[in-house]
Amino acid sequence: MKAPAPLRLGIAGLGTVGVGVLRIVAAQAETLALRTGRAIEVSAVSARSRGKDRGIDLTPYAWEDDPVALARRNDVDLFVELMGGSDGPAKAATEAALAAGKPVVTANKAMLALHGQALAELAEANDAPLRFEAAVAGGIPCVKALTEGLAGNAITRVSGVMNGTCNYILTRMEASGLPYAEVFKEADALGYLEADPTLDVGGIDAGHKLALLAAIAFGTQVDFEGVQLQGIERVSIDDIHRARDMGYRIKLLGEARRTPAGVEQSMRPTLVPAESPLGQLEGGTNMVVFEGDAVGQIVMRGAGAGEGPTASAVMADVADIARGLRIPPFGQPAATLAPPRRANAATHCAHYIRLNLRDEPGAMAKVATALGLAGISIDRMRQYDHAGDDAPVLIVTHPCAPSDMAGALDQVTATGVVHGEPVALQIQTP
Ligand code: NAP
Ligand code: HSE
């Protein structure tokens, strides 16, 4: 029997991930051919500067300066987009490949979070697969788990830590006792931060990833604008240590839930129990948690970034395309994805409140009364030793609506017995 023709890749972007993909294609050629039934080859590549030393021999591959031209080449069967950027050449070349009926594999969460619906429609109109395993949580095969392994479930919640840089910063602050600004500088020196660091520390990168998973999980059009975003820039070393003292760790936690009012999506610093799987997550590691009506809870943990892990995820998509697997980009036809129906974060949750209380008779009673009048009940409370006039106080509340907490903090401040702004953080709902 005649062997099937090789699958010929065109790779645009030869940075961390692109070079990783070239290495895997070369190192695993035999295994990939056995696993997919087809040889996988690279015919052409593209990047910004041709002369750059990338630590890898590029002479076997044709070179294109223009990624759109690369996508249209006759010797490219599958276009691999690894340049990044929500618009510009990444989007233009992806559209060119899809319009030509060619499959596309990308790691570009920014592009998909903003243009996912239009790209999925273009892909399906041209009968061309569009796959993005590497766009969410690096090496963790969570897109595949959701679209395939959990296809028989109504997914009720998607949560997790999806930005390794933020988890590195938060865990390093805790271990070193250094403030945010110092650890941010360390992360920068280690090359962990995106070119625009706000994407990491502002929660945007993780918000992109959450929006992609939520779309697949709930059968809705991807709705990044609907993610309530708060970054880690204002998390203080005090909060990290006090939270730990109360049995919690602070994580940049993403949560998407289906509720009767619509889909709630948030990415914000949140307290999680220190002994839980999320609480034990160290450094740049990611964790994605799915909850399905039939399966219960599924926890996936692994490297969320880096050459090997991200290229591993790209190759999973390439292998699926080589095998002939056809799954719509968001798990069901783009035309059937429901328009976004946003729900404000109304799910009740416990809160952590830190405040500096004037050390005078009746001060604590005034705070407790203000919270009580706002309908917020105290679960636990701790006052710390102090040398000056202000007593550091921590309060853990019973679950309440996040909107009630915002009003309650105004009332607490209005008592006049608190110095500075009280800090409130949500505690993850079990
Ligand atoms: P990177 O190291 O910055 O590499 C980007 C590559 O794209 C470079 O080779 C660059 O060329 C090329 N490029 C940029 N603009 C171009 C243009 N206008 N025309 C042609 N080539 C262009 O990025 P990366 O870390 O590999 O990330 C690539 C993608 O994977 C991004 O979407 C990123 O979000 C995603 N991703 C990355 C990771 C990770 O751990 N790095 C994890 C998950 C997802 P030059 O080299 O010549 O400058
Ligand atoms: N900047 C991302 C992170 C890696 O720190 O997790 C790319 O997704």
- List pLDDT tens digits, range 231-280: 999 999 999 999 999 999 999 999 999 999 999 999 999 999 999 999 99
Q: What pLDDT is stored for residue 347 in this prediction?
A: 81
Residue 287 backbone zone (phi > 0: left; psi -120 to 50: alpha; other: beta): beta
**Angstrom distance (rounded) from CA 288 to CA 286:** 7
Whether pLDDT at 285 is above 90: yes
Name the residue of 112, 165, 208, 285 whose CB sits within 8 Å of the most ligand 2 atoms, as the mutation to test its pocket.
165
Q: What pLDDT is stored for residue 233 in this prediction?
A: 95
The set of protein residues with a Cβ atom below 6 angstroms from ligand 2 is: 163-165, 194, 200, 205, 304-305
Let me know if residue 96 belongs to a domain.
no
Let me know if residue 109 belongs to a domain.
no
First-to-last CA distance in the chain? 56
Name the residue of 200, 253, 307, 310 whose CB sits within 8 Å of the most ligand 2 atoms, as the mutation to test its pocket.
200
Q: Say how many Å lie between the CA of residue 304 and the centre of ligand 2.
A: 6
Does one domain contain both 298 and 366?
no
Question: Does the predicted model carry a pTM greater than 0.85?
Answer: yes
Q: Say how many Å lie between the CA of residue 315 and the centre of ligand 2.
A: 18
Let me know if residue 117 belongs to a domain.
no
Let me know if residue 142 belongs to a domain.
no
Does one domain contain both 364 and 222?
no
Does one domain contain both 162 and 297?
yes
Does one domain contain both 182 and 293?
yes
Looking at the CA of residue 138, tell me the nearest atom of ligand 2.
Answer: 8
Let me know if residue 330 belongs to a domain.
no
Let me know if residue 88 belongs to a domain.
no
With CA atoms as reference, report the closest residue to 235 among 248, 226, 223: 248
The tokens of 423 are what?
A: 């800090």
Q: Say how many Å lie between the CA of residue 231 and the centre of ligand 1.
A: 23
Does one domain contain both 281 and 391?
no
Does one domain contain both 402 and 296?
no
Catalytic (active-site) positions: 209
**Alpha-carbon torsion, ordered 313, 256, 250, 279, to 10 deg:** -60
Ligand (nearest to CA of 232): 2
Does one domain contain both 257 and 180?
yes
Q: What pLDDT is stored for residue 324 in this prediction?
A: 97
Does one domain contain both 175 and 294?
yes
Whether pLDDT at 143 is above 90: yes
The tokens of 126 are what?
A: 């041209």
| CATH of residue 156 | 3.30.360.10
Does one domain contain both 298 and 364?
no
**Angstrom distance (rounded) from CA 394 to CA 382:** 5
Does one domain contain both 361 and 270?
no
- Residue 202 structural domain: 151-303
Per-residue pLDDT tens over the stretch 326-364: 999 999 999 999 998 998 777 899 999 999 999 889 999
Let me know if residue 233 belongs to a domain.
yes
Domain edge (last residue) among 241, 276, 303 = 303
Q: Which residue has the tokens 């070239």?
A: 22
Looking at the CA of residue 17, tell me the nearest atom of ligand 1.
Answer: 26
Does one domain contain both 257 and 397?
no
Let me know if residue 250 belongs to a domain.
yes
Neighbours of 418 (CB within 10 A): 21
| CATH of residue 393 | 3.30.70.260
Whether pLDDT at 159 is above 90: yes
Whether pLDDT at 23 is above 90: yes
Q: What pLDDT is stored for residue 354 in this prediction?
A: 94
Domain edge (last residue) among 303, 338, 367 = 303
Name the residue of 11, 14, 17 whose CB sits within 8 Å of the most ligand 1 atoms, as the mutation to test its pocket.
17
Tell me the Cα Rg of the chain: 24
| 311 or 3, greater pLDDT | 311
DSSP state of 274: T
Looking at the CA of residue 206, tell me the nearest atom of ligand 2.
Answer: 6
Does one domain contain both 162 and 294?
yes
Q: Is the CB of 254 inside a 6 Å radius of any atom of ligand 1?
A: no
Domain count, the chain: 2
Q: Say how many Å lie between the CA of residue 205 and the centre of ligand 2.
A: 7
User: Considering only CA atoms, which residue is closest to atom 30 of ligand 1?
Assistant: 107
The pLDDT-based confidence of 203 (bands split at 50, 70, 90) is very high
